[in-house]
Amino acid sequence: MIVRTTVLACALLLSQRAGEPASAAKTLLSHDFSTSPQGWLIAGDTSDVAADFKPAGGNPGGYISHVDEALGETWYFRAPATVLAELAAAQHGALSFDLKQSSTDAGFPDDDVVIVGAAGRLSYRFDRAPGTAWTSFSVPLSASAGWRWNWNQVPTEEQMRQVLAAPTRLDIRGEFRTGDDTGGLDNFQLTSGNRTR
C-alpha cells in the first residue's frame, strides 16, 4: 500500500466562526486519495477493514468508500497514524473533508467526528448530513466550536490540547442512514492553528 502524505505550503484559513478574525494558517496534511486509500481503515461496523479505494468519482479524482454491513453498528473512516501525528499542531486550526452517501432517505444523528486519546474523547456533530453529491465539512479544532469532551461535557482548551497531543484514533462518520448503504470520503485536510489575535 502506498501511503502518500502531502505537506502543502501555507494557505489562508478562514475562521469557521462568525466574528473571528481571518488567520494565517498552513495546511499540515492533505489526503486526496488520488492513488491509494493512504492508510485509512473502516471501523465500527463489524470489523476493521481497509477502505475501498476508488480511482475515479471523487471530488475530483480518487476517493475511499465502504459498503455498509446493514446489520452492523455505525461505521467510521479511521485515520492512519500519519494523521494522528499532525493533530497536536492542528489545535485552533481546522479539520475538513468531503463526504457523500448513496442514499439520504433514513438518516439518524450520531457523532460525526470522534478523536480519542488517553486524556479523553472528543466528539463533534454537524447540523447536516452529506448528500448523494460530494458535501464539504469543516470544523475548527477549538473548544469553542461545539466539541464534546467525554461524551457530553463541554471541553476546555486544555482538555482539547491533551487529547490532540496524544491521540489514539480519529474517526469520521461514514454511515448516516438505517439500512445498507455506501459512503465515500475525499479531500481530508488538517490546517494549523497559528491564529492571529
Partner 1 sequence: MAKSDSTNLPTVDRRTFLQVTALAGGGLLVGLSFPDVLAQRGGGPGSGAALLPDIYITIHPDNTFTIIAKNPETGQGVKTALPMIIADELDVDWSQVKVRQADLDPKYGSQIEGGSRAIPSNYQNMRLVGAGGRLLMVSAAAAMWNVPASELTTGSGLVKHAGSGRTATYGSLASRAASVPVPDQAAITAGLKNPKDFKIIGKRTRGVDVKDIVTGRPVFSIDVAPPNMLYAAFEKCSAFRGKVVSANLDEIKKMPGIRHAFIVEPAGQGNNAAVSGVAIVADSWWIANDARRSLKITWDEGAIASQSSVGYTAQAKDLAAKNASAPPPPPPAGGGRGGGGGAAIGDAEAAFKSAAKVIEAEYFFPFLSHAPLEPQNATAHFKDGKLEIWSPSQIPSLQHPAAGAGIAPENVTMHLVRSGGGFGRRLVSDYDTEIGSIARKVTDERAAQGLPSVPVKLLWTREDDMGHDQYRPSGYHFFKAALDGAGKLVAFRDYVPSTQSVVPANEFPRGFCENVWVISTAVTPFDVPTGALRAPPTNGISFVMQGFVDEIAIAAGKDPLQYRIDLLNSPAGGGPTGGFNPARARGVLEAVRDMSTWNRRGQLPKGTGMGVAFQFAHAGYVAYIVEAAVDANKAVKINRVWCAVDIGRQIVNPSQAENLVHGGFVEGMSHIMNWEITIDRGGAVQRNFNQYQPTRMAQVPTDFQVKFLQTDFDPTGLGEPSLPPAVPAITNAIFAANGDRIRTLPIGKLGYRWA
- Interacting residues toward partner 1 by CB under 8 A: 32, 41-53, 59-61, 65-67, 69-74, 76, 98, 101, 104-111, 116, 127-138, 151-152, 168-169, 171, 177-179, 187
Got the DSSP string for 141-195? Answer: SSGGGS-EETTTBPPPHHHHHHHHHSEEEEEEE---BSSS-EEEEEEEEEE----
Rounded to a whole number of angstroms, the minimum distance from the CB of residue 141 to partner 1 is 17
- 124/134 with CB nearer partner 1: 134
H-assigned helices in the chain: 81-87, 157-165
- 42/164 with CB nearer partner 1: 42
Rounded to a whole number of angstroms, the minimum distance from the CB of residue 17 to partner 1 is 14
Rg for the chain, CA atoms, rounded: 16
Count the neighbouring beta carbons within 10 Å of the beta carbon of residue 18. 5
- 24/70 with CB nearer partner 1: 70
- 132/144 with CB nearer partner 1: 132
Rounded to a whole number of angstroms, the minimum distance from the CB of residue 109 to partner 1 is 5
Rounded to a whole number of angstroms, the minimum distance from the CB of residue 90 to partner 1 is 18
Provide the β-strand partners of residue 100: 184
60 upstream amide cis, omega within 30 of 0: yes
